[in-house]
Chains A and B, each alone.
Chain A
C-alpha cells in the first residue's frame, strides 16, 4: 500500500535525497520485521507509553518518522467516538478517513493507528 513518492524542490527538480531515505528505510524495515511479533504488539496495546522496550521504541520511531502522507492521526468525532484519518500532505486539503472502524476510547484508536503502521510494514 505504501508508495515512496519523489519530492521536488521549488523549481521542480527531483530531490535525490528521497532515494537515500528509501535505502535507509529498507534497512530499518528489515530490522523491524526481524523483531516484530505478537508480544511487541501486545506491549503497545497495554503499555503506558513511558518506557517501551528497545524494539518497540525503534518500531514507534519508524512509525512516527514516516513522511507526512504516510502518517495517521485520530479524529475525535462529535459523538465521542474516535476514527482514523491520514493526512493529505497538501496545504488546505483535509485529512481523509481510513477504514470505517469507530473506537470507543482514545487508547484503542491509538493502538488502531499502530496496527495500521504494522500493516504497512508487513505488506511491503
Chain B
C-alpha cells in the first residue's frame, strides 16, 4: 500500500459567518478522510505548557470526505492565448529572445519558447538541451530533428538567441551571440569566453502542428495518463522580449535586434514586449504582444517581473525611471503559488460561529504525522462585537511558509547554535517539494524566493508544528499561545487577518478598544502600516506582542490576494539579497526591503525595533526605573520583585529569540517609558546587520548592552497608547505554569486598562508627561 499522507489548503484565509470557503485536498494511500471542524486554542506541545488544545465544533463538514491524489503544476511560465492557432506556422519562421539562463547545465531539457508537445513529439521549440547547449528542434509525431550550438551557454550571462527555419528546404540556422554590457551579467568583458555560435543544418522532418498544443514561453506541453496535460521542460532564468517572425531572418537582422532594434515589422507574428505594461504601481501577469495579432501571454506561478533586462545600464535602478530596461522576466522550475487543485469540499460558515482561529482537521490511517492535516483559517466576526482584536499576522505566516532552512542553509546551525530537530513531516515535504518554498528559501538556481501564497499546503501553519532549526514553535503555532491566554482569561476577542487589514484599512480596527498582535508580525504592507498608525493616532490602543515586527515592505498581488511579494535587499537580517536593479515590488511599484530604510522604522509606531536575534536560551526582564514612575506603575502592579518573565515555552523565559530595542534616533516617541529590559543574553544573540556601519569584535549578547528586549509604553493622541514587549518569546511565556506567571500577570494589567474606554491609568499626569521627563 502506498504511504498514507494527506495535505490540503483552503481558498481563503479569512472568512465571515455566512460566507463560503472551499477546501482542496491531496491524499495518497486512502480514498476517505475523517474531517472535523475544530477551534484552535493552543498549539505548542512543550511540556511546560498546556499542550495542544482544540475544541471540536459541530459542522456540516464533519465526517468522511472522499479524497484523492491531486497533482501540482510546478514551475513558472507564460502561456500564449492563441485561439485561432496563428502560431501553428505552416511556412518559414524565425524565433528569437534575449535570455539569461541560470542553470544551463541543469541536466534536463529547458524550453525557451515554442509550440512543442513533449509527449507526442510534435511542433517546434527553441531551448537548451540537457548538456547546456542552445538547441532548436522540430517534430512530426514520429521523428524529431535537432540543431545544436557548438558552445555551451554560460549561466547568468545575457545572450540573444534565435533560429531561422526554412520549411521548404529544411534549412535551420541557429543564432547565439553574447549581449553583455558592463552591468547586466555575472561576468564582464575581461573574461575571455567565446559566447557566439552559429550553426546551419538541414532537417529531414517538418514540424507537425497539433491544434491543442499551446505556445509556451519557458516550458512545453506534456501529458501524463493520470494527471492529464501539464507544462514540463521548464526553463530557469530570465527571458526578455521573445518573438516569432513569419519568415527567415538574416544574420544581419538578428544582429540588428542584438543592438536594440525591433524585429522587422513586416515579419512579426508575435513580439512579446516584456518591458511594456509598467505603471507607477507595478505590472500585471500579462505580457503584451505588440505584434499584429495581439497574442498576449499570461504568467502562471508568478514569473518574476520588475527585473532587469538585457539592456540594463546599471544606472536606472527602478522600472519607473525607464521601463524599457526592465524587460527581464525570471522563471523558476520550482515555483508554485497556486496548486490549482479541485475543491474537495466546501463549507458555508455557520451563523453565530464565534470569531477565532479554526481548522478542518483531516485524518487518514493512523491519523498522526503526515496522516493528519489541519487546514487553518480565521473566522472573523460578521460584525465587530469584541472589545479586543487579535490581528493575525498572516503575511508573516506566508513569508515563512514551508521554509526548509535546516535542509538547505549551511548558515542555519551557526545562527541557531544548535543542530536542527527534524520530523517525518519535515522530511516528507523536503523530499517531495511540491508545495513550494518560503521567502527564506532559494530557488533551485539560488535566486531568492520573492512570492509566497496560501493556495498550497503550508506545513508550518498548523498546530503542533515546531520549526526544525530552532525546535520551538514559530509564527502560527507560537501565536496560538497568545490565543490560549486570551481564551484562558476570557476576553471578548475578535480575530482579523493581515489580508483583511490590507484590504479594509483602519476601518477594520476602529471598532476595537485594543488591538493585539502576534509574536512576530514581521511582514507589513504600506496599507497595513498606515492603518495601524492611524488607529493609534486616532485613540486606539496597540499591544505589540513580538520582536522583529513591522520590518519588511511587502505587497499583495491585486489579481491574487493570497499571494504576497517581498524583495530582500540592502541591509537587514535577510536570507537572500535581490540583485542590483531588482529592488522594487512588481505588485505595487514600491521599493521593498526594510521599512526602516524607507523612513518608517518600527520604533515610530511601537517604540521599539529589531536589535538582535539568538536561539537556545531566553532571559527574563528586569524592571527599569520608569516602571515605578507614577504614570505607568500600574503596568507592573502585582508583579513582585525586579525580575520577571523567567518562565516560558520558548527557551524557558519571556525575553528571547528576536529582540527589539528603544532607540530615539530611529523615532521612538520621546516620551516613551522603558518599563523593563532584558540583558545578559548569550553570545548566540548577535546584533542585527542594519545597525552595522563598521563591524567589530564582540557584537554579541554578553558584550553589547544594546542586545536586549525593551518593554516600552507610550501614550498617543485621543487616549491612544502603545505597549510593546520587544520579544518574540513573550507570547510563548504566557501559558507557562498554567498561565499563572509574571509575564501573563503584567500583560493582563495592560489589556485590562486598554479595554476601558476613556482616560488611561496615569493619564492625570499628561501635562507632566508632555515635558518628556
Contacts and interface: CB of A to CB of B under 8 A. Distances in A.
A46 interface: no
B408 A72 contact: no
Contacts of B430: 92, 94
A91 interface: yes
Interface stretch (B90-98, B420-428, B448-456, B628-636): B420-428
A85 B116 CA distance: 43
B26 interface: no
A47 to B, nearest CB: 11
B354 to A, nearest CB: 34
Nearest to A78: B369
Contacts of A68: 408-410
A106 B417 contact: no
A11 B154 contact: yes
A73 B407 CA distance: 9
Contact of A10 (B156, B417, B471): B156
Contacts of B616: 49-50
Interface centre among A9, A67, A68 (most CB of B within 10 A): A68
A51 B104 CA distance: 47
Interface in A57-113: 57, 60-61, 63-65, 67-68, 71-76, 78, 82, 85, 87, 91-95, 106, 110, 113
Nearest to A85: B422
Contact of B431 (A11, A63, A82, A92): A92
A11 B419 contact: no
Contacts of A61: 414
Contacts of A51: 682-683, 702
B719 interface: no
A48 interface: yes
A71 B682 CA distance: 22
A58 to B, nearest CB: 11
B28 interface: no
Interface in B400-453: 406-410, 413-414, 417-424, 427, 430-433, 444-445
Nearest to B430: A94
Q: What secondary structure prevails in chain B residues at the interface with A? A: loop
Contacts of B468: 73
A63 B417 CA distance: 10
Nearest to A93: B431
A14 B159 CA distance: 23
Contact of B419 (A57, A65, A67, A71): A71
A12 B418 CA distance: 33
B664 to A, nearest CB: 31
A92 B433 contact: yes
B617 A49 contact: yes
Contact of B417 (A11, A64, A92, A113): A64
Contacts of A113: 419
Contacts of A9: 155
A89 to B, nearest CB: 9
A76 B420 CA distance: 10
A49 B156 contact: no
Given A10-B105, A67-B410, A76 B423 contact: yes
Interface string B81-97: 00000000000000000
A74 B424 contact: no
A82 to B, nearest CB: 8
Contacts of A93: 431
Q: Which has the most chain A C-beta neighbours within 10 Å: B410, B423, B433?
A: B410
Interface string B270-295: 00000000000000000000000000
Interface in A12-68: 12, 48-51, 57, 60-61, 63-65, 67-68
Contact of B418 (A49, A57, A65, A75): A49
A106 B422 contact: no
B119 to A, nearest CB: 24
Contacts of B729: none
Contacts of A57: 683
A94 B431 contact: yes
Contact of A91 (B410, B414, B433, B684): B433
A14 to B, nearest CB: 14
A71 B413 contact: yes
B161 interface: no
Contacts of A78: 368-369, 424
B176 interface: no
Sorted from nearest, which 7 A-B pairs have the closest CB atoms? A10-B155, A64-B413, A68-B410, A73-B420, A50-B617, A64-B414, A49-B616
Given A10-B104, A11-B155, 10 more contacts: A10-B103, A50-B617, A51-B702, A64-B414, A64-B417, A72-B419, A74-B420, A91-B433, A94-B427, A95-B407
5 contacts: A11-B155, A48-B617, A49-B617, A73-B422, A87-B406
